[in-house]
Amino acid sequence: MTGGMAMGDGETAPPLVDASALTRLFETRRWPFGRRRGVRAVDGVDLSIQAGECVGIVGESGSGKSTLGALLLGLQRPSAGDVRFAGQRLAALTPRALRRLRAEMALVHQNPLGALDPRMRLGPQIVEPLIIHAIAADARERRARLEAALTDVGLPPAIAERFPHQVSGGQRQRAVIARALMLSPRFVVFDEAVSALDVSVQAQILNLIKRLQRQSGAAHLFITHDLRAVRQVADRVAVMFAGRIVEDGPVAEVIRAPRHPYTRALIDAAPKLVPGRRRRDARTTEVGSVDAGPADPTLAVATTPAGCAYRTRCPAATALCSTVRPRLASEDTGRRVACHHPAAEGAQPLAQAS
């Protein structure tokens, strides 16, 4: 709730999805001998998503994006904190009630070939949610809804007879999207939904996702490590690092004027993201992460009981950063940032500032 809503500051419509202090700990096996080690995949995340809003989550591999998506969908149980969907606490629901609620949520997975049952023709897979939720009982109605869904995602009706291995990657992802949207869910998580596709196909699928969202008014969570994709579909973006949101705000604002050093590094590492700004030189790219390998939350947890998890890579780090962990603070611009020394609005690139 405290997760400052970037959108619509005036009218406070209750968010459709609302996570507070959401935490997910993975305990690595400790028997037979080894010490108990924990990974905080998601660490105290506050995030709310409004109906009709598309929130992008960016961050490097291992930063906890997929885990956050699974938590918001109730596919994993939080170790601490809460997820509310339309006001209902997911953790308070019986497994059965949660399954029923799943008709209103959906997941689109990164790997469209893996996300489809290789043994089933596409048609039956796409309409399966109707059967599971006993919605369209007779075959003719299912047939009609299948055709409508295929048209919606731009697939020819004949494709229903095909097996997943018989169609292209883009068509597969369209089929996965058709299946996810079969029940007109109010909340859809796209987990790296275009990352596995060719660049040309990516753009088409992104457009499709955007169009479908406008039509349906659903809330979307769009997970990716690609800032460009986020800029194309999302209204708001949250940047994750080591299980935490380090910055969020309207996507155009965040890209134009990043406040957190990590966001800056992500933007600088992405070529041609901002017109006129070229990719930074090697020295700063090295600091700037994406090539510096995944964050290791284990390390962050084990070796940093306090302090900012990003400080070992941060060019702006000070003594304060290694003792006090920065809180994600709301700013009056509707943005949030977790940093002791955020870049000032419209600041010059860090390398030059320091």
Distance, in Å, from the CA atom of 179 to the CA atom of 102, rounded to the nearest integer, reads 13
Residue 261 binding ligand SF4, by CB under 6 A? yes
Q: Helices 122-132 and 139-152, interaxial angle, to 10°?
A: 120
How many angstroms separate the Cα of 291 from the Cα of each of 61, 266, 299, 349?
11, 10, 18, 19
What is the smallest separation between the CB atom of 117 and other proteins, expressed in angstroms?
A: 5
Q: Which stretch binds ligand ADP (CB under 6 A): 56-64, 153-161, 285-293, 317-325?
A: 56-64
What is the smallest separation between the CB atom of 199 and other proteins, expressed in angstroms?
A: 20
Residue 59 binding ligand ADP, by CB under 6 A? yes
Which helix or strand (DSSP H or E) is residue 148 part of? helix 139-152
**The binder of ligand SF4 chosen from 147, 154, 341, 347 (CB under 6 A):** 341
Tokens (6 digits) for 10 = 């005036």
Instruction: Report the Cα–Cα distance between both ends of the chain, in Å, rounded.
Output: 36
Q: 244 has which bridge partners?
A: 241
Left, alpha or beta for 40 (phi > 0: left; psi -120 to 50: alpha)? beta
What is the smallest separation between the CB atom of 331 and ligand ADP, expressed in angstroms?
A: 25
Residue 22 or 316 having the CB closest to ligand SF4: 316
What is the smallest separation between the CB atom of 247 and ligand SF4, expressed in angstroms?
A: 9
Q: Which stretch binds Mg ion (CB under 5 A): 11-19, 58-66, 238-246, 291-299?
A: 58-66
Phi, psi of 72 (to 5 degrees): -65, -30
What is the smallest separation between the CB atom of 108 and ligand ADP, expressed in angstroms?
A: 14
Q: Which does 76 bind (CB under 5 to 8 A by kind): ligand SF4, other proteins, ligand ADP, none?
A: none
Residues that bind ligand SF4 (CB under 6 A): 260-261, 308, 310-311, 314, 316-317, 321, 326, 339-341
